[in-house]
Amino acid sequence: MLKFILLILLAVGGWYFWRRLSAPRTPARAPQERLPERMVACAWCGVNVPEGDALRSGERNYCCAEHRNAAENKSGD
């Protein structure tokens, strides 16, 4: 009798496990708003910075104010 119960438990457990494995998985969709941020190169040193962190000056992007100032001072006069 004990063997019979164990067999049923095994069958139920196996069926449950198999169902879990073969269940259609809903693909974890990446939220559309979490797009990777575009990288822009600093016009002075060339380092890549996220567009949101870059300092814009005209059409050029800079990684920091220092480089923006340096570029403007060099080409300004």
What angle is formed at CA 68 by the lines to CA 71 and CA 56, rounded to 5 degrees? 120
- The minimum distance between CB 31 and Zn ion, in angstroms, equals 31
Residues binding Zn ion (CB under 5 A): 42, 44-45, 63, 67
- The minimum distance between CB 38 and Zn ion, in angstroms, equals 17
- The minimum distance between CB 42 and Zn ion, in angstroms, equals 3
Q: Judged by CB, which is closer to Zn ion: 31, or 52?
A: 52
CA distance 12 to 6: 10
